[in-house]
Amino acid sequence: NAGVTQTPKFRVLKTGQSMTLLCAQDMNHEYMYWYRQDPGMGLRLIHYSVGEGTTAKGEVPDGYNVSRLKKQNFLLGLESAAPSQTSVYFCASSYQGERGTQYFGPGTRLLVL
């Protein structure tokens, strides 16, 4: 049982490049989330999904897209990376409902030059 895994762990991009961050969970959770963590800002929700095939915007969705084609995977895409997207990205998953404690992945550190 690996829990929540994220790939890659670290990536350097040039401005304008694109990339996809992958999140996978093996706990059969319905809900999945993408957050970004910036110094002094805590964690902010980018997008989330309440089930396979559904996605919704969070607090800071601009510049990102997501897809949830399979229940266990949640992809975060950057179509044209900007230096402002330099951050640490965390994926989380949870069961539906009040018992839904969120479990976090180890994070992906992204540097956009």
In the complex with another protein, the residue whose CB is nearer, 24 or 92, is 92
| Alpha-carbon span 23 to 7, nearest angstrom | 7
Nearest distance, CB of residue 101 and another protein, angstroms:
5
Region binding another protein by CB under 8 A among candidate stretches 21-29, 60-68, 77-85, 97-105? 97-105
In the numeric block, the tokens 């997207």 are attached to 85
CB 49 within 8 A of CB 66: yes
Report CA-CA distances (Å) from 49 to 2, 9, 106, 113: 20, 22, 19, 30
Binding pattern for the stretch 14-53 against another protein, x by CB under 8 A and - elsewhere = -----------------x-x------xxxxxx--x-x---
Region binding another protein by CB under 8 A among candidate stretches 15-23, 68-76, 77-85, 104-112? 104-112
